[in-house]
Amino acid sequence: MGVAFKMRSVVVSAALLLAAAGVAEAGPDLGNWRVDAGSDGQVTASLYATNKLITGGGALGYSPVLTLACRPDGEPRWSEWLELNDSVSASRRITMSVMVDGSGKLDESWSVGPRGKMLVRDGADGIKRLVSASRLLLSWRFGLLSGRGEADFELAGLSEAIGQMAASCNTDPP
Number of domains in the chain: 1
Helices (H) and strands (E) in the chain, counts: 3, 11
pLDDT at 96: 95
State the Cα–Cα distance between residues 116 and 134, nearest whole angstrom: 28
Residue 51 near residue 79, CB atoms below 8 Å: no
131: in domain: yes
State the Cα–Cα distance between residues 102 and 125, nearest whole angstrom: 18
90: in domain: yes
55: in domain: yes
4: in domain: no
pTM of the model: 0.79
5: in domain: no
State the Cα–Cα distance between residues 67 and 85, nearest whole angstrom: 15
State the Cα–Cα distance between residues 52 and 44, nearest whole angstrom: 22
173: in domain: no
CATH number at residue 147: 2.60.40.1880
- pLDDT (tens, 9 = 90+) of the chain, 174 residues, equals 454 444 344 333 433 333 333 333 445 678 899 999 988 889 999 999 999 988 766 668 899 999 999 998 877 799 999 999 988 988 899 999 999 998 889 999 999 998 899 999 999 999 999 999 999 999 998 877 677 899 999 999 999 999 999 999 988 899
Provide the domain limits for residue 120. Answer: 29-168
